Amino acid sequence: MNTSIGKYLFLTASFIFWLFLALFSSRLIVDNLNSGYHYSNIVFNLHYLKNSGAAFSLLQNAREFLIIVSIVATTFLFMYVHNHIRNIHLISISFIALLSAGIMSNCHERIVLGYVRDYIQLNFINFPIFNVADIFITIGVIALVVILCFYKGK
């Protein structure tokens, strides 16, 4: 799939898939936790927390600012794909879609709910509670940094 149209379709389909997965998993997990379901193992437990800030609870109650930053970041990511559509590889498009979906999933929750639903708490390290969208953002950023550092020009 080296055509530009195919790459745009791949970006769109991937973005929609990851966005749906992040939003659906948050709703499913939070609904179950609110219904009394509890889960815990040696690695993590599920604990529902309303986060009105960003990662590590930074920028608490800066909802509008975080919404704007999310929309601008996603716009820049999509513009990057558009401006490099002829040369960008599908693996890069995959991780841009994953990163964008994570950003927009959290943005959607900020717009609709006024906060982000966090629910994954690691048991083996003192780390802030996070959600599936945060995992997508982390994987997307790390993968894109690796691609930029090691595969640039190949």
Q: What is the pLDDT of residue 61?
A: 73
Whether 31 is a known active-site residue: answer: no
Q: What is the pLDDT of residue 151?
A: 72
Q: Which of 54, 77, 118, 119 is catalytic?
A: 118
Confidence band for 60, pLDDT divided at 50, 70 and 90: confident
Query: What confidence tens digit (pLDDT) does each residue in 32-57 have?
Result: 999 999 999 999 999 999 988 777 66
Q: What is the pLDDT of residue 56?
A: 63
Query: What confidence tens digit (pLDDT) does each residue in 71-112 have?
Result: 999 999 999 999 999 989 999 999 999 999 999 999 999 999
Q: What is the pLDDT of residue 2?
A: 57
Averaged pLDDT for residues 14-32: 97
Whether the predicted pLDDT of 152 surpasses 70? no
Global pTM reads 0.90
Sequential DSSP letters for 48-65: EEEE-SSGGG-STT-HHH
Q: Which of 22, 54, 129, 134 is catalytic?
A: 134
Whether 134 is a known active-site residue: answer: yes
